[in-house]
Amino acid sequence: MKLQHTTLVTLLFIFISCGFHAQNMKLEYIGDAAMQKGMHVWGSSPVIGKDGKTHLFAAQWSTETQPDFNGWYKDCEIGHYVGDSPEGPFKYVGLAVPDKDGVFNSPHNPTISHIDGQYQLCFIVNENDDLKTQRIVMYVADDLNDTWRPAKGAEADGTILRQTKDSTVWNYTARLGVSNPSLIKYKGKYFLYHKSVVRKEPKGYVYSYGVVVADSVEGPYMHNPTRVTEEKMPLEDAYAFTMNDSVYMMSRDFRGALGNRGGGLLWKSGDGFSFPVENTIRAYEDLQHYVGEEYLKDAVSYRGKLDGHLERAQILFIDDKPAYLYLATGVQVNSGYGSSSHVFKISFE
């Protein structure tokens, strides 16, 4: 049975001509999105294809070979799921990007975009299970038949961004390479946001985001020397989008800055290069908030607590408005299944 529960969260949007206005965004829990028996399915990224159907691209790996969740950087691949509507049900239709091992190992955390009439699929890979070697790949295609090719401005295998060797760039000290891309078009330029775990003074490391910019969607991309988020509020899994001439990111609240760590944040920028802490608000809560404690009492947690940390926010736009939110969780109530994604309907009051 499909559970439904609603909540109101205040999202701050800026309308340049009218000043500041707040709108109430209502999230209605619809149910499971991409899932597959015997597999972990992580982070569904949605797009509506030319066929009118909703296509999801998600990381996936076997629960048998990697039951402790470490398969995300060892044996992952990117699967393709299709549904007749954004609410599903979604059917697995095939492999979009295989795991090639070696130097193109474990493709993970895909995000799909449709810019300038072309589809772009960005994701991360590493070399031989070594997280210090993470880099970002961009594939492009004119359709969603999984006939992807490397972006023209990328390396031969599609690598569009590696960790910088320039000591003047903000993530020169990154210890885990570059990861978790999100691509937008903004004011005629192309912005590729990415995460790095960088040194924090006087000690430690912090999860931050930066951006590279290009004149063509297929690159090449040039580094912006400074990070776009502030050290005092770390984040993870940011999804970038534009509305009303501003740039937004929805991310996991990695350290529980504005609530518990199971929910997420909404960041806002006036230029795409700086997302001030004072403009950042709570965006969503953990899964238990929407489905209730009773629904999760017999669940299995593959990652995080039983309240169901919601991660990897990805938004489906319909008629240029946010319409559905897809979130991943490591908590599962269905026997034989690993982690999966969930879909929420967005409406405004």
**Res 9 pLDDT > 80:** no
**Res 13 pLDDT > 50:** no
Is position 1 within any domain?
no
Q: Which of 140, 68, 141, 62 is nearest to 106 (CA)?
A: 62
At 239-282, the pLDDT tens digits run 999 998 999 999 999 899 999 999 999 999 999 999 999 999 99
Using CA atoms, how far residue 119 sits from 15, 181, 259, in Å, is 29, 15, 35
Q: Which of 269, 160, 177, 166 is nearest to 216 (CA)?
A: 160
Number of domains in the chain: 1
At 88-142, the pLDDT tens digits run 999 999 999 999 999 999 999 999 999 999 999 999 999 999 999 999 999 999 9
Beta bridge partners of 135: 125
Q: Which of 141, 79, 149 is nearest to 107 (CA)?
A: 79
Owning domain of residue 192: 6-348
Q: CB 186: neighbour CB atoms within 10 A?
A: 18
Span 43-56, average pLDDT: 97
Stated pTM of the model: 0.94
Q: What is d(CA 303, CA 272) in angstroms, rounded to the nearest whole number?
A: 32
- CATH code of the domain in which 311 resides: 2.115.10.20
Give residue for tokens 């990861």.
179
Is position 23 within any domain?
yes
**Res 5 pLDDT > 80:** no
Q: What is d(CA 29, CA 325) in angstroms, rounded to the nearest whole number?
A: 9
Is position 65 within any domain?
yes
How large is the greatest C-alpha to C-alpha distance in the chain, in angstroms? 55
